[in-house]
A and B are shown apart, each in its own frame.
Chain A
Amino acid sequence: MKQGAERQNKDWFFKFLAAFFLGIPLLLGVMGLVGLGCHNDGNPRAISSQLMMWMLSPLWITLLGFSGFFRSSRQAWGILGGLSLFAWALFFLLRGFCL
């Protein structure tokens, strides 16, 4: 039991790394879906482009800040990786339909 607690305690760093590195593809994937939803055309001066950019930083910080609540680092990598793959698969699928 005590050994488990010890391992759990050192685990926060890998949970944090998961949120940091998988946060990038996950949030960019989410941005992709939102962008398709509001018919963004990649013009940086458009209001939707700018709002999407502003959306990323609070989401990423929240994800990093609450990464400690994952049960284990393995769970963190699994969930975030799965969600990233799902977001990107959905993005390419939807973009294919749009084209």
Chain B
Amino acid sequence: MKIPNMILRSYRELHSWVGIVAGLFLFVAFYAGAITMFEQPIQDWVSQTASLPPAVSLHATPELLEKTFAAHPEARKSYTVYLAPNAAHPERLSWFLPFSHGHVGQVTLAALDEKGALVTAKPQISATAHFINLLHQQVGLPFPHETSLLVTGVVGLLYGVALISGIILFLPKIAENLFAVRLTTSLRRRWLDLHNLLGIFSLPFHLVMALTAVVFAFHDPVFDVQHALFAKSNPPLALSEKIRSSSAQGRLSQKADQTKIKPSFALPLEPEKIVNSLELQAAGFVPEMLNYSQNKEGQLVLRVAGHDSRYGMRGASRGFAEIDPYSGKILSSDYLPGHQSTGFAILTTFFALHFGNFGGNFVRWGYVLLGLGGAFLFYTGNQLWINARRRREIKSGEASSATQFLDCLTAGCVNGCISGISAIFCAAFGLPHGGDYKDITSVYYGVFVLFVILAFCLKTRYRNSILLSLSALITLSIPVMASLYGHKALLSLPNITIELVAVFLGAFLLWAAGKEKKFSGRV
């Protein structure tokens, strides 16, 4: 393929420009996203386990439900039966009470002691893992969620453009450059080769991320447009039908209506029988929890969440089935792995490719590596731009403030993000209840802003090595804090894994700091 030189040159400018605008946002999104791959284990690790008597058997769960509803009638509105309680989650039953004035709701756990009396507990869940997930979704911005998502969408578009323009630039020289990593020649060549290698070999992953990120970000506005365009295009006869079907419950309640839910005095089927009936209808699907709630008409609705390691799933780690709570029959299998129609299966594939939930922990770790590799790709991109400009400036003898500014900003944001996340891991052990959302937010942004200010104050010669050493120090204090103040068994698998990762990352940062010191001033 021959692309005119003029177009190639303009694509080089386009590639640099979108890379510089989106690069730092993408660094935060990928670094936080890699950590979010293990959101649930991390949340369990930093949160205190609720002290509850051992869970009642599934067979005895109706008794627990009866006693809970007698003492707390409000629990009927929204409750969950857990099918596989474990050490981190010893509860069999929980209920959820949404606060009316827009606050986050409160979960209460319920169990029975040896004498059969009801025991309840409110779990103390650290906001650390959830904060990192939101940081990932909002590309590191502290604005309200909807506003941040619009920025995320635009960043996703720029990211997609960076990928396309990167391919267009790389294509003409693909044969000579593909496997080349010239570590010895100039610093610029080294960054360029690393950048190309990472970019080409993780291209499918990056294309998936760019496409899905844009969809996730513009999800709600697009549905609003669709509603405005199509909702009234139906013949007026079907109007009443349409309003019902586009209400919150949508297709599911419509289907449920057709199968005629029994009157409310009928008792729902016992959880054990639901599980048995589900096993007959969807073998291979491992149900994890039964979510009961009431729809607008006051009818009981049951959604089963679980996983099936043979298939990708619609949620971050679970698929769902809508079930008739009175007969155990599956009402909707739109999101049930392995039982979806072709259209929904295609959609679920996109979600699964973004979440990396289709092959157990092996694929999850692969996604962690790809995510960190992506973060590094954006860092190398910024380094390339800075080094190229600096070379030109040394030749012409004029230093530009733009190069200086981006150099400081890159060092500040990258180290600020790494240190901020490491700092909230450390702080979670010192803060009450593992840190609520507000505390965690202030710790992260406090550290982040501090690093950015430091980056602008430090001299170019020491900047990178000092900031990297500081990041290493904070990251290495995670295992120290966890050992001193952690309440979890020191030898448990999640504990060892997280501490090893922290030590490894800390060592890498120290190594990079040493390298920076050696190379500083070279271009």
Hey, which bits of chain A sit against chain B, CB under 8 A? 5, 8-9, 11-13, 16, 20, 28, 31-32, 35-36, 40-47, 49-54, 56-58, 60-62, 64-66, 68-69, 91, 95, 98-99
Contact = CB atoms under 8 A, between A and B. Distances in A.
B157 interface: yes
Contacts of B376: none
Given A53-B223, A54-B215, A57-B214, A68 B10 contact: yes
26 contacts: A12-B13, A13-B14, A13-B17, A16-B14, A36-B233, A41-B238, A41-B242, A42-B226, A44-B227, A44-B246, A45-B252, A47-B347, A49-B223, A50-B343, A50-B347, A52-B226, A53-B215, A54-B350, A56-B215, A61-B160, A61-B161, A64-B157, A65-B160, A98-B233, A99-B233, A99-B235
A40 B233 CA distance: 9
Interface in B196-255: 210-212, 214-215, 218-219, 222-223, 225-231, 233-235, 238, 242, 245-246, 250-252
A43 B246 contact: yes
B9 interface: yes
B14 A12 contact: yes
Contact of A62 (B164, B231, B251, B343): B164
Nearest to A36: B233
Contact of B229 (A5, A32, A57): A32
Given A42-B246, A69-B7, 11 more contacts: A42-B231, A42-B242, A43-B242, A44-B223, A44-B246, A53-B226, A54-B350, A61-B211, A65-B161, A68-B7, A68-B165
Contacts of B225: 28, 31
Nearest to B350: A54
Q: Helix, strand, loop or mixed for chain B's interface?
A: helix
Contacts, number: 128
A57 B250 CA distance: 25
B344 A47 contact: yes
A31 B7 contact: no
B341 interface: yes
Given A43-B250, A53-B223, A99-B233, A61 B343 contact: no
A68 B14 contact: yes
Contacts of A35: 226, 229-230
A42 B250 CA distance: 11
B394 interface: no
Contacts of B163: 65
A54 B219 CA distance: 9
A46 B227 CA distance: 12
B246 A9 contact: no
Given A43-B251, A51-B343, A66-B164, A60 B230 contact: no
A76 B196 CA distance: 30
Contact of B211 (A40, A49, A58, A68): A58
Nearest to B217: A57
A54 B347 contact: yes
Contact of A64 (B160, B229, B343): B160
A-B pairs, 5 with minimum CB distance: A65-B164, A61-B160, A42-B231, A57-B214, A45-B250
Contacts of B456: none
A12 B10 contact: yes
A40 B10 CA distance: 41
Interface residues of B, number: 49
Contacts of B242: 41-43
Contacts of A41: 230-231, 233-234, 238, 242, 245-246
A66 B163 CA distance: 11
Nearest to A60: B157
Given A42-B227, A47-B343, A61-B210, A53 B10 contact: no
B117 interface: no
B6 interface: yes
Contact of A44 (B160, B161, B226): B226
B164 A61 contact: yes
B38 interface: no
Given A41-B246, A61-B214, A65-B165, A56 B230 contact: no
A61 B161 CA distance: 6
B160 to A, nearest CB: 3
Nearest to A28: B225
B160 A11 contact: no
Contacts of B226: 31, 35, 40, 42, 44, 49, 52-53
A44 B11 CA distance: 38
Most chain A CB neighbours (cut-off 10 Å) among B156, B164, B212? B164
A64 B215 contact: no
Most chain B CB neighbours (cut-off 10 Å) among A36, A43, A46, A47? A43
Nearest to B252: A45
B209 to A, nearest CB: 11
A69 B7 CA distance: 7
B354 to A, nearest CB: 12
A53 B346 CA distance: 13
A5 B215 contact: no
B215 A57 contact: yes
Contact of A9 (B9, B156, B235): B9
Given A54-B215, A57-B214, A42 B11 contact: no
A12 B6 CA distance: 11
A22 B77 CA distance: 47
A82 B215 CA distance: 26
A45 to B, nearest CB: 4
Interface string B341-370: 101101100100000000000000000000
A1 B341 CA distance: 59
A13 B246 CA distance: 41
A13 B163 CA distance: 17
